[in-house]
């Protein structure tokens, strides 16, 4: 399992593929104007954090790298790229409309000629372990929606694809929890103020 350390994780801003409802996977779909605006707006949340990230680790895909660079404008910390944090390689479904690959988006069907979920979770576990063990906490991981689901899958949880573009999540170690050893919080801006809210998105998947 992963080191039980404090970290943040955020999905990249909206991309051209997201807006067109097309599966990007390992394709390098760039941020669109809305995605860049989302990242700019999220800087206010990052700036308000009591415990700010000390380092950023991001996927090699430009949508994650560019989101990380925008967020880092208020942190000025070291940034490290790790291809192991990239989205699932969706094989024949890459570049296809969401309707074609719905069983991947809402379930766990391995994509044809793509990366199996078993292999995906194995590389995520390696990369996340390296990030959390190598850098001072808290680390901020900037990656992809599937990476959130993969984190749950490592612990045997069937996490739904509910993670919005540029919504920040905080993972705090919680020794009272046996299956998924973090309490999870998310952040949003409401009436110009940062709101921190406990989420059960991982707990609700525990059988």
Give catalytic residues, as residue numbers.
12, 87
What is the rounded distance in angstroms from the CA atom of residue 95 to the CA atom of residue 166?
A: 22
Sequence-ordered list of residues with C-beta below 8 angstroms from that of 74, at least 6 positions apart, any chain: 43, 46, 47
176's tokens: 């009272």
Sequence-ordered list of residues with C-beta below 8 angstroms from that of 73, at least 6 positions apart, any chain: 43
48's tokens: 């308000």
Q: Residue 31 has what DSSP assignment?
A: B
- Cβ distance 178 to 132 under 8 Å? no
- Cβ distance 138 to 54 under 8 Å? yes
155's tokens: 């612990």
Which H/E stretch holds residue 134? helix 117-134
């Amino acid at each position: 399992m992963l080191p039980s350390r404090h970290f943040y994780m955020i999905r990249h801003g909206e991309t051209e593929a997201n807006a067109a409802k097309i599966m990007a996977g390992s394709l390098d779909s760039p941020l669109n104007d809305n995605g860049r605006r989302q990242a700019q707006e999220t800087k206010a949340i990052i700036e308000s954090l009591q415990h700010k990230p000390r380092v950023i680790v991001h996927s090699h895909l430009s949508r994650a790298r560019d989101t990380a660079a925008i967020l880092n404008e208020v942190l000025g910390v070291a940034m490290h790229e790790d291809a192991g944090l990239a989205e699932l390689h969706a094989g024949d479904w890459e570049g296809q409309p969401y309707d074609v690959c719905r069983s991947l988006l809402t379930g766990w069907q391995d994509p044809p000629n793509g990366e199996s979920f078993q292999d995906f979770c194995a590389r995520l576990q390696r990369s996340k372990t390296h990030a959390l063990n190598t850098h001072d906490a808290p680390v901020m991981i900037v990656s992809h929606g599937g990476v959130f689901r993969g984190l749950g899958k490592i612990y045997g949880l069937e996490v739904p694809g509910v993670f919005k573009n540029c919504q920040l999540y905080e993972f705090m170690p919680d020794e009272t929890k046996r299956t998924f050893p973090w309490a999870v919080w998310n952040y949003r801006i409401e009436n110009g103020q940062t709101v921190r809210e406990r989420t059960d998105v991982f707990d609700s998947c525990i059988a």
